[in-house]
Structure formats: structure tokens, C-alpha cells
Structure 1
Amino acid sequence: MTDDRTRPDLDDTTVEGLGKLSEALETVEQARGLLYGFHQLTGKADLLLQDAVELLREAGHTDLAADLDRDLVGRNVIADRWTFQIVEDYDANYWTTFRGLDARARDELAGGDRHVHEARMKQRERTAGHPRHETGPSLDG
């Protein structure tokens, strides 16, 4: 184990592969966030729809209000699925698996160290000795 975040003991191709895997996981995390946003926005839309139905009903547009209430309020956005079920399935079947395999790759190939690729990039791009261009904390600190 080294305290050098750049892990000079690892070959470049392995570090690049781990870096791409990490980037892919970060993209999955963004997609997951969008999926949660989709879930929340769909729920908000349904609550707003319920307000609209009530207002249209009060205004005397009972047929339209009844159709909206029957055909849209509480409707599944995907056949036989509520949005929270989509999120749960994504988490259970894709996100959790992805995170587990990412952790396995880091454990097996880099002793569990994260962001070795980024540490090497930072080392290449920093101006040695310049304030605010420090190498950063070591792996053990």
C-alpha cells in the first residue's frame, strides 16, 4: 500500500480502465438523480392535476373534470408501473449491481483506492510549488 494517490505501482491501462469505470458510475448516478426527479415531478404533476380537476368541477365543467379524474389522476405512467416502482427496480437491478462491481474492480485492482486516474491527471496539470496547486491529501491521511 502506498500513500501516493497516483498509485505509481499500477499500470496506465489499468488506471485508465478504472477511470472509465468510475466515469461510467458517475453517469449512472446522474441518471439515477434524473430518475428520482422524474418520479417527483410526475407526483407533483398528479397533485396539480387533482387541483385542476377540482377547479374545473367547481366551475361547472363536470364532464371534463370527470374524464380527467378517471383517465389521468393516479394513472401509471408506464404500463402496470408506478414511478416509485421504476426507481426501486433501477436501484435494485442496475444501480446496486453497478456500484458493487465498481467496488470490486477497485478492491481487486487498486486496493480499494478511488480516483487514481483523476489523481494522475491532477498531478500532470498542477503547477508544482504554486499555492492552491498542492497534491492533496495522501491516501492514508
Structure 2
Amino acid sequence: MIRDIRPETASSQTPPGTSPRPPSRDVDDATAEALGKLSEALETTERARGHLYSFHQLIGHADLQLDEAVKLLRAAGHPEMADLVTRELIGLNVIPGRWTFQIVEEYEDGYHSAFTGVERRVRERLAGGRRHLHEARMKKRRQG
């Protein structure tokens, strides 16, 4: 089991000029569990976002690799096949009307933005903005 052995730092305290967040004990266990599940769902969307960026980068890399394939096809005496790759694949939309950067942008501006906004509003309303209450309670239980 990994335990954080660093002492409390100023960054973990309430910043000057702001009101302190309510202590986690002011939030009942059922609410903390629900907030934990909402947080877990948000973390899953963040993982999906990372995969979307991987997809974006991989497709971009593949598209650039086609340039070398075209060059090699021409050098090997297959200009008609090089033309086919150029005409049919280079710069092709991955879905109708969209390159991968557009998919990433639409995901971030739509679903991801809505998800993070709702999660933040629920957390602010029910826990004064505190994050990971469920996990903090689990840490306390496990460490005694």
C-alpha cells in the first residue's frame, strides 16, 4: 500500500481570502458515495478523452506515413497505385466531413464540457466543492 508521507503544505490549506470548505463529516455517507460514483464516471470520461487524443494522433501519423508509401510506390514503378493512394486516402475525412481534430474539439466543447460542468455543480451544491470525499473517507478507514 502506498501512503503519502509528505507533511501538509500551504497548497493543501484554504487560500487566504476564501471561506473554508465544509468538513467532509458534514456530508453524509450516502451523498459522499454518490459523489464518489459521479467522480469515477468523470474520471472514465477523462480516460476516454485520452484515447480520443491517441486516436487523433495515430490517424494523423498514418496519414503522414502515406506520403512515404506514395513515394516508394512511385520509385518501385507503380505510379497508378501511388495515384490511387493519393486520390483515395491522403487527407481523407475519418467520418463524413470531419478530421480527427474536429472530433476532439466537438467532444470537448459538447459532451466533455457538459459533463465537467454538471459534476462541478453537483459537487459545489452537495459538498462545497470538495473533491474525492469518498476516497478521503476510505483513506482514513484504511490508515486507521
The reply to whether TM is greater than 0.5 is: yes
Equivalent residue in structure 1 for 2:33, among 10, 13, 16? 16
Alignment of 1:118-133 (within 5 A): 118-126=135-143, 128=144
> Over aligned residues, Cα RMSD in angstroms?
1.3
SS of structure 2 residue aligned to 1:8: helix
Unaligned ranges ≥5, structure 1: 129-141
- Sort the Cα spacing of 1:61 and 1:99 in 2 relative to 1 into closer, same or farther, 3 A: same
Query: 1:109 is matched by which residue type in structure 2?
Result: L
Q: Distance in 1 between matches of 2:21 and 2:59?
A: 48
Question: Would you say how many aligned residue pairs link Structure 1 and Structure 2?
Answer: 125
- Sort the Cα spacing of 1:2 and 1:107 in 2 relative to 1 into closer, same or farther, 3 A: closer
Q: Which residue of 1 aligns with 2:130?
A: 113
Alignment of 1:68-87 (within 5 A): 68-87=85-104
The structure showing larger relative contact order (alpha-carbon pairs under 8 Å, at least 6 residues apart) is 1
Equivalent residue in structure 2 for 1:55, among 72, 78, 82? 72
Unaligned ranges ≥5, structure 2: 1-19
Q: Which residue of 1 aligns with 2:11?
A: none
Q: Deviations over 1:35-77 (max 9, x none)?
A: 0110010000000111111111122111111101100011011
Q: Distance in 2 between matches of 1:101 and 1:57?
A: 54
Identity of aligned pairs, percent?
Answer: 58
TM-score (norm 2): 0.83
